[in-house]
């Protein structure tokens, strides 16, 4: 017996065909479509303006494997980390980051991660599977609801900087973004979405070929191949030169913003020689900004955060060489919600 089809994989035309095939009105398709994408229903029972008989008919013919909110944890700085559960019992985390006039959602794209970056808690987890496009959409929709409920504002920005490597779940990420940006979805502008990658040259080029409208962030974290390969094994097959070429290809095709993410590790990548190497890469790529990020400790790694004076010296050196650089202060550190800390740890102080 074949499993019933996920209703959210249907197009509006396919929904229309279904309702006509059971002798119902064409407008029913639009009603259900709006419940799914505009009103963010997560079950057929949520569709309250449909008859009970019709809802039962839908549930017999289609599945609705929506992501469920599991737990949330609140940081002293206003950041909210939420854990979501998939229909097959897997857990992923997403983060709502309120900053002045912005409400940013950090979403995950995979259950775990396969890239094993040495400084990232998710990298020590097993990659169990990709999230589907509708599960990614659910993350964004639920974090949007949380922003409205808690802060009275809708999401303004979305970053794919949670668990997993987005470009290893390419089709689902792009389809999720299509629904997130759609007027009959969340309606968030593509220029307010950033996809962060550990650096997969082939897929960065594919983004260019597909003419995507969102921005791209490269997790660089070291400016020579030896150091970067030690921190990020993916560099062994996607070295810095291949990334420079891929990023230029992407920019020439899209003209979208490119950002470098650079976590500072004490005595690892924080010297002025490292800064010089970073400047050389910066000048070879149409890079909009370098985000220097403070390291957030995790249980499985022995890295340390540099002293403030060392960080400032590094920043000042870049700025003196006409680099557009910003220090990104991590939010939610007290609840393990900061950059590199997402790992489905047991949550305390939850609702």
Q: Which of 142, 196, 216, 136 is nearest to 171 (CA)?
A: 136
**Which candidate in 56, 304, 339, 348 is catalytic?**
339
Alpha carbon dihedral 219, 224, 229, 234, in 10-degree steps, equals 40
Residue-level pLDDT at 185: 96
Retrieve residue 148's tokens. 């409205």
Residue 45 annotated as catalytic: no
Strand-pair partners of 104: 97, 157
Strand pairing partners for 264?
Answer: 294
Which one from 53, 56, 93, 268 is the annotated catalytic residue? Answer: 93
d(CA 53, CA 69): 28
Residue 127 CA to residue 124 CA, distance in Å, equals 9
Whole-number Å distance between alpha carbons of 85 and 93: 9
Q: Is 61 helix (H, G, I), strand (E, B) or coil?
A: helix
Q: What H or E segment, with its residue span, contains residue 179?
A: helix 170-181
**Nearest partner of 277 among 219, 228, 341, 333, judged by Cα:** 228
Q: Residue-wise over 32-42: b if at least 16 C-beta within 10 A, else e?
A: bbebbbeebbb
Task: Report how far residue 51's alpha carbon sits from residue 30's, in angstroms, rounded to the nearest whole number.
Answer: 15
Which residue ranges form the domains of the chain, and what is each CATH number? 5-63 (1.10.150.530), 68-335 (3.20.20.70)
For the question of residue 93 being annotated catalytic, the response is: yes
Residue 220 token pair: 């660089």
pTM here is: 0.92
Note down pLDDT in tens along the chain; length 351 residues: 357 999 999 999 999 999 999 999 999 999 999 999 999 999 999 999 999 999 999 999 999 999 999 999 999 989 999 999 999 999 999 999 998 889 999 999 999 888 888 888 777 787 889 999 999 999 999 999 999 999 999 999 999 999 999 999 999 999 999 999 999 999 999 999 999 999 999 999 999 999 999 999 999 999 999 999 999 999 999 999 999 999 999 999 999 999 999 999 999 999 999 999 999 999 999 999 999 998 887 777 788 999 999 999 999 999 999 999 999 877 666 655 545 444 555 544 443
C-alpha torsion angle, residues 265, 266, 268, 274 (rounded to 10): 90
- Strand, helix or coil for residue 7: helix
262: β partners = 292
Distances, alpha carbon 349 to alpha carbons 80, 95, 138, 346, in Å: 11, 15, 23, 10
Query: What gap in Å lies between CA 231 and CA 223, rounded to an integer?
Result: 11
Q: Is 277 exposed, middle or buried (0-12, 13-18, 19+ CB in 10 A)?
A: middle
């Amino acid at each position: 017996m074949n499993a019933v089809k996920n209703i959210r994989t249907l197009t509006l035309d396919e929904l229309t065909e279904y309702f006509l095939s059971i002798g119902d009105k064409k407008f029913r398709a639009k009603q259900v479509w709006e419940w799914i994408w505009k009103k963010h229903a997560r079950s057929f029972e949520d569709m309250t303006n449909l008859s009970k008989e019709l809802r039962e008919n839908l549930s017999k013919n289609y599945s609705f494997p929506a992501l469920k909110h599991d737990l949330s944890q609140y940081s002293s700085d206003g950041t909210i980390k939420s854990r979501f559960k998939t229909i097959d019992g897997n857990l992923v985390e997403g983060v709502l980051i309120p900053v002045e006039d912005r409400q940013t959602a950090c979403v995950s794209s995979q259950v775990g991660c396969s890239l094993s970056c040495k400084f990232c808690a998710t990298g020590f987890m097993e990659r169990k599977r990709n999230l589907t496009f509708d599960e990614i959409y659910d993350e964004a929709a639920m974090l949007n609801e949380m922003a409205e409920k808690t802060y009275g504002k809708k999401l303004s920005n979305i970053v794919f900087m949670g668990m997993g490597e987005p470009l290893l779940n390419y089709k689902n990420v792009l389809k999720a973004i299509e629904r997130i940006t759609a007027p009959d979805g969340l309606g968030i502008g593509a220029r307010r979405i950033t996809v962060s990658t550990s650096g997969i040259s082939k897929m960065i080029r594919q983004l260019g070929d597909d003419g995507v409208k969102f921005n791209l962030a490269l997790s660089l974290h070291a400016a020579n191949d030896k150091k970067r390969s030690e921190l990020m094994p993916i560099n062994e097959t996607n070295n810095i030169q291949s990334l420079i070429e891929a990023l230029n290809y992407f920019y020439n095709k899209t003209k979208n913003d490119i950002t470098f993410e650079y976590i500072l590790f004490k005595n690892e990548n924080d010297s002025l020689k490292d800064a010089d190497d970073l400047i050389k890469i910066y000048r070879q790529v149409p890079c909009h900004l370098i985000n220097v990020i403070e390291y957030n400790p995790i249980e499985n790694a022995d890295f340390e955060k540099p002293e403030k004076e060392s960080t400032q010296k590094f920043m000042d050196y870049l700025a003196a060489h006409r680099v557009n650089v910003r220090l990104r202060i991590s939010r939610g550190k007290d609840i393990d919600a900061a950059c590199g800390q997402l790992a489905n740890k047991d949550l305390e102080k939850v609702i």
